Chains A and B, each alone.
Chain A
């Protein structure tokens, strides 16, 4: 029964995706997709409720069929990538595809001695990932209903390419479930490559020159990651004679594990778009907004974090782990710097995604039980809030035709609903008492005796506060004399924005329940002592504690007081214009002051180059850590 559920959560989205390809009529297609998404969400909730984890699930009757299908799939996929790379003349992709094909052929036909391994390995981490993929992923897909209609209208796409679009999204979700549930490392590799391929197809969806260029960059960088993952698996097999994740995780003798771990970490870095691979994620923004939301929040980039978290017990307490922490912290602060210099909202979000992923990688590298807990909490909160923000920016862009935060000045008057939701979304990403900040607090406390890392983290968090605060200021700027307009929110867009906002706030509110139910058991599964405890909104370690409800209460009191203050004073209040030292204030031309972007010491081009050099050096250091 339970293996059925797991199998279904992978196969169902893929089959649904294939069916969508053939549904030409818009209303039928939408109904079908909505139902499928409902099933996906339902499946994940049922699994959350019924699955006893951690455990191995097997389904012998289907094993051989599945395994064969995946083997054939592996080759089909690589040949397809070869075909694409010839078509778009992206020789780097060809190179890395060949680099995968050769070892794959050797491994599959000459090395691998067939033996059946269990199909699924599921623990709380898989369940968490599955929930994020299913719920956040589905909400993004729902949003795409409204968005894509508008998008195609705008770009005059006819006949509609939506069947293809939604088909790939569904396959993508299925493949992500495959990555997080599979026990056979070769299966993980296969699903990993599917996510690469589908992200290529999604980024290139609009088929403009820029889209194809950026999609091919995403393809070759992720193919490079695929090479690393494959090599990691082969090295594990040579040394330990197994491709079963559960067996790998219970390896006692860790002498030969570090080199494969380096390769797996490398794969994770490419997938999570860490420096110097960040360019593919930044380029991914040419795609329709739901794609960037999907890549940035719940799926693609989180696969990298997942795989690193998954293997983290194997390199706990090693030099490799310390170096990974430094590398992650560096990415965190470097991309935060880059984000400061940006005025393009999507680029700010993209850099902040890379930055937050760096923070997660840093805390995985710290590898203590609280650090892992912090990484998992960040993973959850980041997925929800970032998805929300991307969808908001997409909505704003369709409305005002710009994604520049300078053009978002006074948005609260033009698009009150979306601007308010964006404001809340930003708050949940940066301010106490919301989950992201609580996790950040935890990481800084965990890292406190590693001076280098904690100095970096302190600077990075200040930078984060900088670029989000001024965005809030821009969104909410306006006077009583600004032109106010009503906003019509597309129903499907509304559904997903409202639900994501509700989830973001609710999850922060129940952070202690979330921790006790899902994160703490995972820490135990990873055989660590639980240091962080949580009771009724109070998270504490022996060294310190964070309590969230007083801050929620403060927020509540502030809202009530200001409502009273505004309402009571409607009679006596004077609605005035901004102070302009006696000059006439004219609402429309206003006196817009551009934000400070610190471009003199945060110039994107130069900085990126230097940061890339440093990060390459750091990766070399990590390799050194694996070899010593």
Chain B
């Protein structure tokens, strides 16, 4: 690694959670607006996380600690590698290592809420992981590469991959655990699951998980943004638009079942992938 790369890595890793936290602040404000409430201040997510970090440590077992750290660190690593324009498929695999620990950590506590939440999170992973790989494969079919550096020389991927863009929007909804896919942690709290997968993560460790969630959100948004890498400002605007769409969808839909989610996401994603790749070859 050259010095330059180290600087980029650190910069990305430092900036990403701020954007992530800020966006989730906007999310809460906007959701409140849609629901006719006043809502918390924009900076509320940061206040929450800081408060959590200084709370007393309540643990059910030691493995939870390791899980939380693994989830955060692998999210950081994947965002950092994304900034270094590494291999997109590798970044996905690194992200999923963190998830495995996150879920296993929740499964390991014996709370029924946390276990059911973790099982559902597994199903959510089953729904969106293939989609992300489909996305990468479609990108390869346009650009002939998995390296972000190479991929980003193609300025307007979105024109080649319109359906894959929609899929990424779907991934974002599932990934952020938003309605109709708020299965694993019941995003709008006080439901039957309590906080599902998050139930037994508490205090500082819950804070770590929130930060990791911000990183992962940024990662997906960044994947959307590179669809217009010619001008990343436009790319970022597209990503933001997708994010707001997801918030709106979150507020106008009700939660669906696990089975529906799997059937829906798999059929849509396989169909979209095949049509989109056929379209790529048709355009040539």
Interface, chain A (partner B; CB < 8 A): 410, 412, 430-432, 437, 441, 444-445, 448-449, 451, 454-455, 457-459, 461-463, 465-466, 468-470, 472-474, 476-480, 542-547, 550-551, 554-555, 557-559, 561-562, 565-566, 569, 572-581, 590-593, 595-596, 600-601
Write out, one digit per residue, whether chain B residues 259-278 have a CB within 8 A of any chain A CB (1) or not (0).
10010001000100110010
* Extra A-B contacts (4), CB below 8 Å, given A470-B122, A578-B111: A445-B140, A574-B57, A574-B58, A596-B119
Q: Which of B106, B109, B137, B200 contacts A448, CB < 8 Å?
A: B137
Name the residue on B nearest A574 (C-beta). B58
Chain B, 100-124, CB within 8 A of any chain A CB: 100, 103-104, 106-116, 118-119, 122-123
Q: Does B14 contact A (CB under 8 A)?
A: no
Q: Which residue of B90, B122, B266 contacts A469 across the interface (Cβ within 8 Å)?
A: B122
B93 contacts A432, C-beta separation under 8 Å: yes
Whether the Cβ atoms of A448 and B125 lie closer than 8 Å is: no
Q: Are A543 and B147 in contact (CB under 8 A)?
A: yes
Asked if B46 lies at the interface with its beta carbon under 8 angstroms from chain A, I say no
B200 CB to closest chain A CB (Å) equals 6
Residues from chain B with a CB closer than 8 A to the CB of A543 are 140, 144-147
Selected from A444, A459, A545, A574, the residue in CB contact (under 8 A) with B266 is: A459
CB of B135 to closest CB in A, whole Å: 10
How distant is the Cα of A553 from the Cα of B74 in the complex, in angstroms?
10
- Whole-angstrom distance from the CB of A617 to the nearest CB of chain B? 20
Q: Is the CB of B66 within 8 A of A477?
A: no
Provide the residues of chain B in CB contact with A580, threshold 8 Å. 111-112
8 tightest A-B CB contacts, nearest first: A473-B107, A544-B146, A578-B111, A458-B133, A591-B112, A593-B115, A544-B87, A462-B129
Complex A-B: 16 CB contacts under 8 Å: A441-B89, A444-B137, A445-B140, A449-B140, A461-B129, A462-B133, A465-B129, A474-B107, A543-B145, A544-B87, A544-B145, A574-B57, A576-B59, A579-B111, A591-B110, A601-B262
The answer to whether the Cβ of B18 comes within 8 Å of any Cβ in the partner chain is no
Task: Say yes or no: A469 contacts B104, CB within 8 Å.
Answer: yes
Chain A residue, CB-CB nearest to B115: A593
Taking a contact as CB atoms under 8 Å apart, the answer to whether B56 and A572 are in contact is yes
B86 sits at the interface (CB 8 A): yes
- Choose one: B106, B147, B199; the contact of A545 (CB below 8 Å): B147
A457: chain B residues within 8 A (beta carbon): 133
Whether B194 and A479, one on each chain, are in contact in the complex, defined by CB atoms closer than 8 angstroms, is no
Across the interface, A479 reaches (CB within 8 A) one of B60, B106, B112, B145, namely: B60
Q: Is the interface of B mostly helix, strand, loop or mixed?
A: helix
Report which of B60, B69, B104, B145 forms a contact with A473, defined as CB distance below 8 A: B104
- Please report B residues at the A interface, Cβ cutoff 8 Å: 56-63, 65-66, 69-70, 73-74, 77, 81, 86-90, 93-94, 96-97, 100, 103-104, 106-116, 118-119, 122-123, 125-126, 129-130, 133-134, 136-137, 140-141, 144-147, 194, 199-200, 204, 258-259, 262, 266, 270, 273-274, 277
A451, A469, A558, A569: the one contacting B66 at CB < 8 Å is A558
In the docked arrangement, what's the CA distance between A480 and B64, Å?
Answer: 12
Bound CA–CA A465/B124 (angstroms):
12
Complex Cα spacing A345 to B60, Å: 26
Q: How far is the CA of A509 from the CA of B54 in the complex (A)?
A: 37
Q: Is the CB of B107 within 8 A of A477?
A: yes
Which B residues touch A466, using CB under 8 A?
122, 125-126
Query: What's the Cα separation between A590 and B112 when bound, in Å?
Result: 9
Contacts of B56 in A (CB 8 A): 572-574
CB distance from B146 to the nearest CB of A (A): 3
In whole angstroms, how far apart are the Cα atoms of A458 and B138 in the complex? Answer: 12
